[in-house]
Chain A
């Protein structure tokens, strides 16, 4: 599987990553090499095999009861944000 520059630009957009002009050819080459490498899986006969859902057979995701168990640590968590005001996270204007 070989990717074009256009393919990689589309993937980078979907992943919300800005890739510089200079770096783009490096990703076209390396992503194509990785996909060529994993393409060997296509030849494996997996007829009748269910995709693995959990590393431990018979295990399922546990659910907890819907109760408030955490205390409010708003200020502590927001201390890691780049821009906050009045307890709100600031981002560039979304609606004109």
Chain B
């Protein structure tokens, strides 16, 4: 199908969620037309980008028709009839949920994740499932069983990971929003490298039920959009208490949209010494330019230090693999998932199903976790890391007694070449040096487009105290009213 068949809809994919909602409300476009337009766009662009691993066209048409009927019956809502793409880590009833792994290549989820159910109830229309690093373990989307995702800004570059398909899809205007998960930066890092806005809420703010577990004390669901205002709309529908997730927090969800008008006068923003030390000069200049925008909006900025923050990456690479080795022990080749051919005995069934079903990086992390949890090493690695994690968390708590938000880079560099770091795990892990701290402390953080290096987008990260999503979103929104980095589109993606 050629895009030229839809001249009337030619720019529909460039519209924000807010604009699309207005068009739908006025009857200028139907959800069905919008959905067909984006499905055609996916058909045209996905073979190049590899951003989606499943396209659920028939379900999307049915969901769009339902949304149109609901609207015709007098219902209204900011996501009613708005298309989205789900990261393939969220269980979708009756639809393959692969988690980017051969292990789950044949897995048809028997129920909806709470995130999926809530967005469905709000009337959002799922177009398909996004490619991702296998079991969300990766920072480049190269560990997926389905092959790497290409960065829309440069097809030779990675989009970041692990939610690389979601980020690339929003950057390429395949959908106005996509879900993601962030365990060590997996929303913010790809958002930065593809020039979109991504928010990781406070740990426990969004339900983890039906979200395939990687590291349960760090995992949190969030969203990719093209603006902070759109992120506020989507997070409103995703957030809230869920009795099915034992770490879901039972606190009321504030009105994120209503918070978007607040002035930043007097807002205190901290710049971390640990983030600016050794920062590449062009990256440092972008951060200074962002601080200058916030100062012009009335915010005060001050330098401060979180002395234990440099320990984030080694702490994470004990805690996350430990939890992963435990969570992934459920994949045994018996009840669901990949099973090897002709097992000799039960041990052979386990070992070969897991050895063949998991990719190299997942096996590496399971083994790291198995080692740090094993008798004789547990105290030296796992307990020690949980103590250092407490020190890092204490640093954040002390910082938020002095400032309202922290600001810094999202990543050390722009998107790197596909293949450049995949053979060196420790170098790859250091991509997440600026994002992991927020996961360890459970605080919310957001990445928004803040400029370019070598023609590739860079992100500015905002970190807030627990449950300060409204403050983060408003600060990003005010920044986006004053700048236009978030409106830039990858050349060739029109």
* Smallest Cβ-Cβ distance to A26: which chain B residue: B360
Rounded to whole Å, the gap between the CB of A87 and the closest CB of chain B is 13
CA distance A26 to B106 in the complex (A): 29
Chain B residues 293-342 with CB under 8 Å of chain A are: 308, 311, 313-315, 317-318, 325, 329, 332-337, 339
Which B residues are in CB contact (< 8 Å) with A54? 217, 247
Asked if A73 contacts B390 (CB within 8 A), the reply is no
A67 CB to nearest chain B CB (Å): 12
| Contact status B346-A92, CB under 8 Å | yes
Chain B CB within 8 A of A44 CB:
yes
Q: Is the CB of B360 within 8 A of A23?
A: yes
A62: chain B residues within 8 A (beta carbon): 243, 246
Structural contact, A37 and B314, CB atoms closer than 8 A: yes
A34 to B314, CA, bound (A): 9
Q: Does any Cβ of A come within 8 Å of B65's Cβ? A: no
Which residues of chain B come closer than 8 Å to A61, judged between CB atoms?
246-247
- Interface range, B side: 35 or more
Check B343 against A92 for contact (C-beta < 8 Å).
yes
**Does B370 sit at the interface, judged by CB under 8 A?**
yes
- Sorted nearest first, the 7 A-B pairs with minimum C-beta distance are A55-B442, A18-B355, A51-B386, A80-B336, A82-B339, A46-B387, A18-B351
Q: Does B468 contact A (CB under 8 A)?
A: no
Q: Given that A16-B354, A41-B311, A56-B204 are known contacts, is A80 also in contact with B348, CB under 8 Å in the complex? A: no
From A27, A38, A56, A82, contact of B249 by CB (8 A): A56
CA distance A20 to B355 in the complex (A): 9
* Chain B residues, Cβ within 8 Å of A31: 364, 367-368, 371
User: Is there contact, CB below 8 Å, between B393 and A92?
Assistant: no
A-B contacts, 19 listed (Cβ < 8 Å): A13-B351, A14-B370, A18-B356, A27-B363, A30-B425, A31-B364, A34-B429, A37-B314, A52-B393, A54-B247, A64-B243, A77-B335, A81-B336, A82-B339, A91-B346, A92-B343, A92-B345, A92-B346, A94-B345
Chain A 39-59 per-residue mask, 1 if CB under 8 angstroms from chain B, else 0? 111101010011111111101
User: A41, B318: Cβ atoms under 8 Å?
Assistant: yes
Q: Which residue of B lies closest to A12 (CB)?
A: B367
CA distance A14 to B336 in the complex (A): 21
Are A83 and B339 in contact (CB-based, < 8 A)?
Answer: yes
Chain B residues in 8 Å Cβ range of A13: 351
Known: A27-B363, A46-B391, A82-B333. 12 other contacts (CB 8 A): A11-B367, A14-B370, A37-B317, A41-B314, A41-B315, A41-B381, A44-B388, A51-B389, A54-B247, A55-B393, A62-B246, A77-B335
**Which of B325, B334, B372 is A91 in contact with, Cβ under 8 Å?**
B334
Q: A30's contact among B247, B333, B364, by CB below 8 Å, is which?
A: B364
Q: How far is the CA of A14 from the CA of B203 in the complex (A)?
A: 31
B490 at the interface (CB under 8 A from A): no
Supposing A41-B385, A56-B249 touch, asked if A18 and B217 sit within 8 A by C-beta, the answer is: no
Asked whether B317 lies within 8 Å of A34 as measured between CB atoms, the reply is yes
Determine the residue in chain B with the shortest Cβ distance to A48: B387
- Distance, CA A39 to CA B217, complexed state (A): 22
Which residues of chain B come closer than 8 Å to A93, judged between CB atoms?
A: 345
CB neighbours (8 Å) of B335 from chain A are 77, 80-81, 89
One of B329, B355, B371, B429 near A11 (C-beta < 8 A): B371
Nearest-neighbor residue (CB-CB) of A44 within chain B:
B388
CB proximity of A8 to chain B, nearest CB, Å: 7
Q: Is the CB of A80 within 8 A of B315?
A: no
Q: Give bound CA distance, A56 to B481, whole Å.
A: 33
Do A40 and B311 form a contact, CB below 8 Å, given A11-B370, A17-B351, A46-B391?
yes
Q: In the docked arrangement, what's the CA distance between A64 and B246, Å?
A: 9
Contact of B418 with A by CB under 8 A: no
B384 to chain A: which residues have CB within 8 Å?
41-42, 44, 46
**57-96 of chain A: CB within 8 A of chain B:** 57, 59, 61-62, 64, 73, 76-77, 79-83, 89, 91-94
Of B318, B345, B367, B383, the contact of A8 (CB 8 Å cutoff): B367
The residue in chain A whose Cβ has the minimal distance to the Cβ of B366 is A15
Smallest CB separation, B347 vs chain A (Å): 8
Nearest CB of chain A from residue B319's CB, rounded to whole Å: 9
Residues of B close to A89: CB separation below 8 A: 334-335
Binary CB contact string for chain B from 477 to 491 against chain A (1 if under 8 A, 0 otherwise): 000000000000000
- For A8, list chain B residues within 8 Å (CB): 367
| B24-77, CB < 8 A from A | none
